[in-house]
Amino acid sequence: MTCMKFHPVATVSKWLSSPKHNATGRFRVLIVGRAGCGKTTILTRFCGANIADSPGEHRGLHRIDHELVSDKNPSFVAHDSRGAEAGSDEEYTTFMNFIHERGNMEATQRIHAIWYCIQANERPIQASERQFFSTDHGKVPVIVIVTKYDTLIESCLQDIENDRKSFDDVSDPDQSLKDEEAWARTQAHKIFQAHCREPLMRMKYPPNAIVRLEHAEDSAVSSKELLRDLTQATMRCIKDSDTDILMVFARARGSDEADPSFFALLSYHLYQRPKLRSVGTIGSISSGIGPNTRSPINDPTTYMTFWAPENYEIVISDAMAKHVDHRPNEVYRHLPTQHLRGLAVRIQALCDIWIVLQILGHKRDRLSHDEIERCIKAYGNSISARDLQQAIVASCRPDEWVKWRSFWQIYSAMEGVARQARDKFLMEWRV
C-alpha cells in the first residue's frame, strides 16, 4: 500500500509567488559563533548548497551586514557575525546595534531569528556568551545551537576506554559496547546540562531555545533529520509572529513538497487565529484569508489556546506526521485526474487537522503531550479516518473543486464532511 505524495495547497504556492511574499522577502537569520564551530556546515545543510556573499558584496570584508545567499534557496538569507560578539568593545557595539536595528526594520530587512552556535567540546560558556546573554537583545528570538555534540559523546567514550575495569567481567562484548555508548550519552547529557543549558538559562536574557547538533559532517545523515530540532525550535520561536513570517519560514525550510500537517497547521494559523483575535484572545495577526463568517465562541478549537501545553502545534504536527498523514489512500485512485487525486490528499490533510483540533478542544481540560499523541494515534488507526477518505471521494464535484484557490474555500466546502467524521470518531473513541 502506497501513499500519494503531498503537494502544498494552491494558496501557499500562490502566496509564495505573490507581491506579498516579495514584500516580506526572505527568512533572515543572524548566525553567531567562533570560527570552526560549524556555522558554514549548518547554513549549507539548511540551504542544500554552498552559501556565499550575495552578488555585489565585496568578498573578504568582515562586515556583519553582508548577505550570505544560496541559489538553491532564494527564500533564505544569513548574516555572519564573524566573531564580532567576542571582539573589541567597538565590534561588540556594532554587533548589538545591528541586532537592535534589524530587529525593528521593515519585513524585507528584518532579522527573524538568531542562531547562536556554541561548540560542545570547548569550554561552552565564555566571556562573550556571558556578555551577550546578560544584554537585552530586543525582540529577535535566539536559538542556541550546541554544535559537534558527537565529539562530547566520543570524549566520554574515551574516558571509558581509559578505564575499563568496570567492564572486565562482562562476557558479552556487544552488550558491553551498548552499555558503554549508553553511559557515554548519559554523561554527555549531564555535562551539557551542567555546563551549558543550566548556566545559559540562568542568564538575565536567556535564549528562547537550545538544541544539540551531532554528526553534521556525516553525509549519511540527511539534512532534514540533522536539522529537525533546529527547524522545530525556530518554528516554535516564530509561531506567534504574523502569518507572513511563518509562510516565509515554510518556504525557507523546504516544506513545499512534504509535511502535510505543517501546511494544515499553517491553514489553522490563517483562518482560526483571526477568529480568536475577534474575541480578544490573541494579539494582532495578519491573515488576509477569508471573512470571519462564524463566531468562534462555539468552536472547540478556540479552547486549544487555553488548554493545550506550550508549543502544542509542534506536538500535534509530529504526531500527525507519525500516525495520520501517511496512512494508505489508494481510494483516491478512483478519481479521474491526477489534479483531483492530489487535491483529495490536501482536503484530507485539512479535514484531519480540523478533526483532531476539535476532539482535543472538546476536552476543555489541561492537555498533556501524551494525551495529544494518544488521541491522534487513535484517530489515525480509526475506522472514521478511513471513512473520511471514502466521504471525500463521494463528495467530489470536479467542476467545483477546480475553482478552489484557498484553505478557506476548502474548509467551507468540506466542513460538513469533516464534522461527520469527527462525530463518528467521538462515538468510536468512547466505545
Per CATH, the number for 25-238 is 3.40.50.300
The answer to whether the CB of 238 falls within 8 A of the CB of 249 is: yes
pLDDT at 56: 44
C-alpha cell at 80: 555572519
Residues 380 and 3: their CA atoms lie apart, in Å, by 14
Residues 133 and 373: their CA atoms lie apart, in Å, by 35
- Residue 211 dihedral angles phi and psi, to the nearest 5°: -125, 155
DSSP per-residue codes, 284-328:
------S---S-STT-GGGGHHHHSPTTHHHHHHHHHHHHTTTS-
pLDDT at 356: 85
3-state SS class at 240: coil
Going residue by residue through the chain, which has 431 residues, state the pLDDT in tens, using 9 for 90 and above.
Answer: 333 333 333 344 444 444 444 445 688 899 998 888 889 889 888 887 677 654 444 443 457 888 888 877 777 889 998 777 777 788 888 889 999 888 888 766 788 899 999 998 767 688 888 999 999 988 889 999 999 999 999 988 888 777 665 555 555 555 566 678 888 888 999 999 998 999 999 999 999 999 999 888 887 777 777 888 888 788 777 765 555 676 677 667 665 434 555 555 555 554 444 444 443 333 322 333 333 333 333 344 444 444 555 556 667 777 888 898 878 888 999 899 988 888 888 888 888 888 887 787 666 566 788 888 899 999 999 999 999 999 999 998 888 887 776 656 776 788 889 889 999 998 887 65
pLDDT at 146: 93
> Could you give the strand order of the β-sheet that contains 68-69, starting from the edge strand earlier in sequence?
52-53, 68-69, 76-80, 27-32, 113-119, 142-147, 209-212
pLDDT at 301: 45
Taking Cα atoms as reference points, which of 63, 213, 45, 50 lies closest to residue 143? 213
Exposed / middle / buried, residue 387 (Cβ in 10 Å: 0-12, 13-18, 19+): middle
pLDDT at 295: 35
C-alpha cell at 71: 541559489
Residues 210 and 234: their CA atoms lie apart, in Å, by 10
Domain boundaries, the chain: 25-238, 259-430
Residues 6+ apart with CB under 8 A from 250: 12, 256, 262, 263, 266
